[in-house]
Amino acid sequence: MKLGRLNHVGVATPSIEKSIAFYRDVMGAEVIREPFDLPAQGVKVCFVDTPNSQIELIEPLGESSPIAGFLAKNPDGGQHHICYEVPDIHAAKTWFEGKGARVLGEPRIGAHGTLIFFVHPRDMGGVLTEIMETPRPGASH
Ligand code: CO
């Protein structure tokens, strides 16, 4: 596998609304996308564009949200994961598994509408890592 483009940095927050105000007023972000629910992942999502990448704000959606535990430990929110693109999600899954890294679940549709999976932080130098198939031109988000 060849390391692909950094697609986004995932930042957990207890309030997307407050985080939007922060990125707009303190960080000077000029392009902040419309927030949307991603029920399959148990999160509400909002993308903040930077000139070369995006910040993915994630807020818990529902009681059993996978980021509820993270926010219990980090009540003000914090950096949650990093997402890299790959050309072929299934080839990437086979690659990581071949390296002994724990892939968390099967590839599923992520916030950009393409297939993603996560790799366990213990096998990734402490960084929860999202692997995402590169969106095709013209895809949404
Ligand atoms: Co993400």
User: What pLDDT, in 10s, does the model give residues 78-108?
Assistant: 999 999 999 999 999 999 999 999 999 999 9
State the catalytic residue, choosing from 56, 85, 130, 133. 130
pLDDT of the residue at 107: 96
- Domains of the chain in start order, with CATH, are 6-133 (3.10.180.10)
Average pLDDT (8-27) is 98
Sheet containing 129-133, strands listed edge to edge, beginning at the edge strand earlier in sequence: 36-38, 43-49, 54-60, 6-12, 78-86, 129-133, 115-119, 103-109
Distance from the alpha carbon of residue 121 to the mean position of ligand 1, in angstroms: 14
Distance from the alpha carbon of residue 25 to the mean position of ligand 1, in angstroms: 23
Indicate the pTM of the whole model: 0.92
Average pLDDT (124-135) is 96
Q: Annotated catalytic, 106?
A: no
Distance from the alpha carbon of residue 99 to the mean position of ligand 1, in angstroms: 22
Distance from the alpha carbon of residue 26 to the mean position of ligand 1, in angstroms: 23
| Residue 80 or residue 139, greater confidence | 80
